[in-house]
Structure 1
Amino acid sequence: MPILNSIITWVLKQRISQIEEFCEKPFETQQETFEYLVKTAKDTEFGKANGFESIKSVREFRERIPVMSYEGISPYIERQMKGERNILWPSEVRWFSKSSGTTNARSKFIPVSEEALEECHYKGGKDMLSVYLNQYPDSKMFTGKGLGIGGSYQPNPFDPSGGTNCGDVSALIIQNLPFWAQLSRTPDIDIALMDEWEAKIEKMAKATVEENVTSIAGVPTWTLVLLQRILEMTGKNDISEVWPNLEVFVHGAVAFGPYRSVFRELISRPDMRYLETYNASEGFFGIQDRSDHDDMLLMLDYGIFYEFIPLENLEDEYPQAVGLEDVELGKNYAMVISTNAGLWRYLIGDTVKFTTKSPYRIKISGRTKHFINAFGEEVIVENAERAITEACTQTGASIANFTAGPRYLGKGEKGGHEWIVEFKRLPSSVEVFTRALDGELRRLNSDYDAKRYADIALEMPVVHAVEENTFYNWMKSRGKLGGQHKVPRLSNNRVYLDDILGMIGRSTG
């Protein structure tokens, strides 16, 4: 196995020079991608309808194609799911990634072409390993197995021919891995792709507890559920006692900051490493390439053409997007993509900030529809996650999950924010935690600070500390268990707050 580890490490690191090349030539790389996409799709139904044949510049592309939400592009996708071809992309689309997202209650189905699977998702996975091994040449990752917490996979119910499938993007990737890659992962595919989440966690724990697990990949929230079940099953106090060679956790989908202290408690080894990736149903976008920074390198040669809309302009009738050459550091942008699966000027729903421009690195700052702005305070997810992380640090707390929303103005009452927090370790005082949370939000967000001044518009937040498994039970009640489902962090209304508080009231009443 050490020889195999050395061979795989050498092969993967050959990619580094190509990554360095697109870092040095970002505009040329993106221009080539743009030209490839438009040329390849010119004879599709969408390409013909929008004159792709005569598009010669990005400016013309932006003039002809409006920015589209899922609702705008879904009629085309629905036709593809029923078996029609050459609609958005010329090659056959055999997979559809199912994503509930966190901004829409119903499922979304994102087309995944052969090109997107190979040249984006798989390429991103291999690059993640290349970047990691370049940072840590002493890695022994391939002397053991990688534990992947995937989603579910099933036939496409809308395709009468039965030739296409749908599922979480992690499931599509696992299902189609080559045999040699299947040999290096755990658990077996029949367990990994189960759709009943509670039974799946139980079987995963039993199937992996005796394996030599050297890496884990998954969403932090659901990974914690598995790790805690393994500790319960084994009677151990530390995952390092179960998997002594575990060296890295590759995570994504939600910010890791609020969970870092919990993972350090569960996995105490001081040399444990954490690597963030930005891999969504729509594509693989970023990889953390610096261990001492929490930003990610924007991957520019995966068949994705990027545009960015300043967040303050997103509600304009015709929001104007900019390319990489015109972005500004530290500014919130809604990300727009055109891809080798036939998504055209698609608004994916995430907001990002650029942290460097040489090379281009980003941080996910939130969701385009997940914020609190009931009083003009414009609190975004990034603010909330940083503030709750700081409050945990100041009070010795750690959390399992949280959500927040507005507490509206009433007769003789001022407004405020209301938080529901499930603690893994309680703070020294919930009151002190609340003051720390409020103080950090005021430091991070000048609009919030102005509204909080002398309690003129906003009063001190209200924090509800709820029992263990509250969010798990709430997600279960909504049929939202599984890796693709995420607890909404912020909402500009009280739908989530009232639903959770009502569930707690019903269970205690």
Structure 2
Amino acid sequence: MNQRAPAKIQAKLLRRLLRRASNTEWGQRFEFARIAQESDVVKAYQARVPIHTYDDIQPFVDQVRAGAEDLFWPGGIKHFAVSSGTASKGKVIPLSKDMLQLNRSFAVTLTLQYLMRSRSVKTLLGKHLTLPGTIEGDPNFPSTLIGEVSGLQTLFAPGVFRLFLQALPSSIAFAPDWDTKLRSVVDQTMNQDIRLVAMAPTWALVVFGLLIERYNEVNGTSVRTVGEVWPKLQLYISGGVALSSYRSILEEQIGLPNIDFLEVYGASEGFFSYQTDLSDPAMHLHLNNGVFYEFVPLDELTSENPRRLTIEHVKTGVRYAPILTTCSGLWSYVLGDVIRFTNTSPHKIVVAGRTSEMIDKYGEAVFGEDAREAINKTCDVTDSLVREYHVSAIPPNGTQTPTHEWLLEFSRIPHDCEAFIRSLDFALCDINRHYQTRREAKAFRPPEIVLVPEGTFNAWLKTSKGQIRSQTKVPRMSDQRNIADGILAHAGQDARRICVDEFM
């Protein structure tokens, strides 16, 4: 592809968004019509429209929920997505019909891409199991629907999917009680010919465990894998959290050697990228799906005048915070994620974590991506599988230097937990030079791990979040102690702390 083509696609999209919203209140305030006429529309837009956080737009979102029209997007908006709340408590994101329809096209496109590359239509010959979040009418704002984007998107699913492929009736798909819903999902699908599963890996592990348990209970069998229940399962589509943290566990739990894994990256604000090559974990960034992208280098995000790079100027290997302008009326909005480009022709990305996923209390600057990579490497070396984890800081105490505390829920516990700690420490040193420098200077102790019983993280989620949803997940890192202390409280005396002496 011509290197200028992506930039032209994005500039054309931005001009179209500006013209569409030119008569809205925001359009008049920021002179969208005038910006759209400029020859360098991107430069004019960035000079006039500042970066916005959710706190900046929340009052306007509330007005739109109350029925205001033509505020930041033409007409009114009736659909609102609630974020998972891992970085904030319940951000409510407007979703125009334009965006919902584009997201539908995105889902169709990635399915067709998979079918063409796999050269097989077997996926279409059985049922597809998805796990949409709950949606409901908002009692505070009549005539609007609010819920998770996966649930809202199900309302806009193609007719052929609803009629012929969908494994769940709406009564189960949108059931409000999460635990009851999961058990109903298992009962409904246990004897179906499931060919495709699409859900967050965190909940796939739970559903698959319940499936195996229930199948054995009903049939008096002792099956150990999902493949024994659904032998023709061909494709697992992952989203919501990084697949790399769960793939080994899922492969073992599914037990089918030829199953394909396909990762998708989306959020309440829109759908952004998906794998086009199953052998490459990086995802192809969709540049014409109603989203104009800017990318701020992560270390500049909190500066007064950060660089706002467009698709034309990004580099591989650099952590960026995506800034979105969308056909739902978000204008240069901070998404809160961190991504890295692995290729710029075509543009492929991996998700490196959240902007809040970082511990840097003592200059160690460990990112969520670093933690995930270190865990994966350590599990490979020690023949173990981590199901859930959370990392927090332990402050210095007297003569003791600070360190990190890793709360770990294993699917397969290592034979030697002290060897696990040493391997984890070496992996972090190899990945992160800031961490390595502090370890070599003895300014940082070896990590401590705490083994918690299976189900501890889920129990904490139920207590801390109130209502469990399909997007509910445990934050991976925090430099504050409240999450770690809450998880430890749930584990109680069953938690097992393991430390090692200094060895560097």
TM-score range, shorter chain: over 0.9
> Does the 8 Å CA contact 2:358/2:479 hold for their aligned counterparts?
yes
Q: Where does 1:227-246 land on structure 2 (aligned, <5 Å)?
A: 227-235=208-216, 236-246=223-233
Matched with 1:287 is: 274
Q: Where does 1:91-110 land on structure 2 (aligned, <5 Å)?
A: 91-104=75-88, 106-110=89-93
The amino acid that maps onto 1:195 is P
Deviations 1:105-134 (A, max 9, x none): x21111111100112x11111111022112
- 1:175 and 2:150 aligned: no
Matched with 1:196 is: 177
Corresponding residue SS for 2:202: helix
> Does the 8 Å CA contact 1:405/1:493 hold for their aligned counterparts?
yes
- 1:144 and 2:150 aligned: no
The amino acid that maps onto 2:183 is E
Q: How many residues align?
A: 483
- 1:453 and 2:436 aligned: no
Corresponding residue SS for 1:467: coil
In structure 2, distance between residues paired with 1:500 and 1:53:
52
Deviations 1:439-486 (A, max 9, x none): 1111011111101115x2111000001100000000011125221111
Matched with 2:140 is: 158
**Aligned counterpart for 1:476 among listed residues 450, 462, 470:** 462
In structure 1, distance between residues paired with 2:448 and 2:238:
30
- 1:498 positional shift: 1.4
- 1:386 and 2:369 aligned: no
Matched with 1:209 is: 190
TM-score normalised by length of structure 1: 0.92
TM-score normalised by length of structure 2: 0.93
Runs of 4+ in 1 over 4 A off after TM superposition: 21-24
Matched with 1:44 is: 24
In structure 1, distance between residues paired with 2:270 and 2:85:
14
- 1:411 positional shift: 1.6
> Does the 8 Å CA contact 1:81/1:156 hold for their aligned counterparts?
no
Q: 1:140 to 1:200 in 2, by over 3 A?
A: same
- 1:385 positional shift: 0.5
Moved more, 56-65 or 77-86: 56-65
Q: Where does 1:39-78 land on structure 2 (aligned, <5 Å)?
A: 39-55=19-35, 56=38, 57-78=41-62
> Does the 8 Å CA contact 1:175/1:189 hold for their aligned counterparts?
no
Matched with 1:16 is: none
Matched with 1:4 is: none
Aligned CA RMSD, in angstroms, stands at 1.5
State the identity %: 33
In structure 2, distance between residues paired with 1:54 and 1:264:
54
The amino acid that maps onto 2:65 is M
- 1:172 positional shift: 0.4
- 1:341 positional shift: 0.5
Corresponding residue SS for 1:186: coil
In structure 1, distance between residues paired with 2:404 and 2:130:
37
Deviations 1:43-66 (A, max 9, x none): 111111111121122122112211
The amino acid that maps onto 2:333 is Y
- 1:225 positional shift: 0.4
Which residues of structure 1 form unaligned runs of 5+? 1-20
Matched with 1:33 is: 13
- 1:264 positional shift: 1.4
Matched with 1:127 is: 109
Corresponding residue SS for 1:325: coil
- 1:342 positional shift: 0.4
Deviations 1:13-54 (A, max 9, x none): xxxxxxxx7998211110110100111001111111111121
Corresponding residue SS for 1:29: helix
The amino acid that maps onto 2:185 is M
**Aligned counterpart for 1:351 among listed residues 327, 338, 346:** 338
- 1:175 positional shift: 2.3
In structure 2, distance between residues paired with 1:269 and 1:422:
24
Deviations 1:410-441 (A, max 9, x none): 22110000010000111111111111111111
In structure 1, distance between residues paired with 2:29 and 2:100:
26
In structure 2, distance between residues paired with 1:238 and 1:292:
24
- 1:430 and 2:413 aligned: no
In structure 2, distance between residues paired with 1:269 and 1:246:
8
> Does the 8 Å CA contact 1:475/1:481 hold for their aligned counterparts?
yes
**Aligned counterpart for 2:66 among listed residues 60, 82, 100:** 82
The amino acid that maps onto 1:209 is M
> Does the 8 Å CA contact 2:3/2:312 hold for their aligned counterparts?
no
> Does the 8 Å CA contact 1:366/1:381 hold for their aligned counterparts?
yes
Matched with 2:96 is: 113
In structure 2, distance between residues paired with 1:208 and 1:94:
32
> Does the 8 Å CA contact 1:258/1:398 hold for their aligned counterparts?
no
Which residues of structure 2 form unaligned runs of 5+? 217-222, 496-504
**Aligned counterpart for 2:351 among listed residues 364, 376, 383:** 364
> Does the 8 Å CA contact 2:453/2:491 hold for their aligned counterparts?
no
Corresponding residue SS for 2:478: coil
Moved more, 330-339 or 42-51: 42-51
Deviations 1:150-184 (A, max 9, x none): 1101002331xx22101110100112324322121
Corresponding residue SS for 1:25: helix
Deviations 1:185-219 (A, max 9, x none): 11111111122110111101001111110000000
- 1:506 positional shift: 7.6
> Does the 8 Å CA contact 2:461/2:468 hold for their aligned counterparts?
yes
- 1:465 and 2:446 aligned: no
In structure 2, distance between residues paired with 1:405 and 1:472:
18
In structure 2, distance between residues paired with 1:474 and 1:407:
20
> Does the 8 Å CA contact 2:402/2:445 hold for their aligned counterparts?
yes
Q: Where does 1:398-417 land on structure 2 (aligned, <5 Å)?
A: 398-417=385-404
